Amino acid sequence: MSIPQQFRPAHLPLVPAEPPARGELVEGRDAVLTLLESLLGAHSPVPAQAAAGDPVTASPAWVRRAAAAAAPAAVWAVLVRDGAAWGLAVLADRVDDAGARSGLLSGGGGYRSGMLTTPGLRASGDVARTALSLAGPLGTALAAGADARGSALELAGLPDTPAVRALAAAAGADLAAGLPVPVVERPAEGTHLVSAGMRKNLRKTANRLATDGVGVQVRLSRDPDAFAAALPEIEAAYRDRDAAHALACPLDTPAGRRTWLDRLAALGEAGRRELATLHLDGELAAYVVGVPEGGRYGVFEGRFVTRWARYSPGRLLEHTVLQHAFADPAVQVVDWMTGVAPETLLTVSRFEPRVVVHRPAAAAALLGPAVTVVDRAQRVSAR
């Protein structure tokens, strides 16, 4: 019931109600990338952050690279605006024996995914609140977009947060547990970073190197030129382990090699790439690609050359990287970044859960307001 003007308190201004956030469906790779650049325009060349503390694997640099490698017609996105804030999910369709499925272009390969959102929110301290306010409308728009394209939703690698749960509920989707990700917390003052058994093994390795007279050199660098120069021997080391165990290597296919190179390039474009290398007698024995991100330090990937297995070069370098990361007082957590088997890791403090949002293609339903569909040529409304 409305209140007559004469009975409204004079000190309460008349403020029109905000319309509910609505989603726009944007179809086609060029249209999606154009939209992304327009959203980021005022903030370029600084990359937009990912939502709710998501890492570089859910950043514009990562999404741009992934979109460029996808089929143009397979790429689509949903955008939700809420006042000055916006949230954007960028997806691609794939078709296999299970049918058509749409997945996020952030994450992939076990890395954490997420939605893009307004730059600057992190500084304002309103990330979690804004992510939660956008989650419901994003879920509704994602469901409507998937229905329009006739695909199932399969959003993997998401953190188990209230915002993700709200998105799933609004989409009419199920949540399934993904592989949890091991992390290492900053050790308390006076405690050791790794176990007594691991410290003993590291000492044995150091003694073996000294006894055999093997020269040891460790380098850590964020220099893009140094990374480019090291890339050929990094690729050779990546291939070495698979070849030694007669395994198929992801880099053996053009698509697999491009994905690997694109992801490494995206880390560099976002200013979040650090290379650690261990050379023994002048030869690369192990490498680790690190991801410094404020209070977290990620271990993106690491491999060693089997010829040097006697000296456990992977263990030696991982220990060096952990020490290096925690030498920065701002770093509270080292994140292994994917759900790798914990028994292969140097040390683990706890696990962070991941979830998969799944909605079958047959789940089409009335899910709230219309979503606006945008393609290269026109803007129409579709229910």
Query: 21-63, pLDDT tens digit by residue?
Result: 678 999 999 999 999 999 987 444 444 444 445 589 999 999 9
Residue 331, Cα to own-chain centre: how many angstroms?
19
Q: Report which residue type is found at 45.
A: P
Query: 56-95, pLDDT tens digit by residue?
Result: 999 999 999 999 999 999 999 999 998 888 999 999 999 9
**145 vs 141: CA distance, rounded Å:** 6
Residue 254, Cα to own-chain centre: how many angstroms?
23
Closest by alpha carbon to 29, among 79, 83, 62, 71? 71
**260 vs 139: CA distance, rounded Å:** 30
Residue with tokens 């964020």: 222
* Residue 365 near residue 218 (C-beta atoms within 8 A): no
Averaged over successive runs of 10 residues, the pLDDT of the chain (383 residues) comes to 41 42 89 93 48 74 96 97 90 91 95 86 62 92 95 96 95 96 94 94 96 97 97 97 92 96 96 97 98 93 96 96 96 92 84 96 49 40 32
**35 vs 75: CA distance, rounded Å:** 12
Query: 324-340, pLDDT tens digit by residue?
Result: 999 999 999 999 999 87
Number of H helices, E strands in the chain: 9, 17
pTM of structure: 0.86
Nearby residues of 68 by Cβ (< 8 Å), 6 or more positions away: 29, 262
Tell me what pLDDT residue 182 has.
Answer: 95
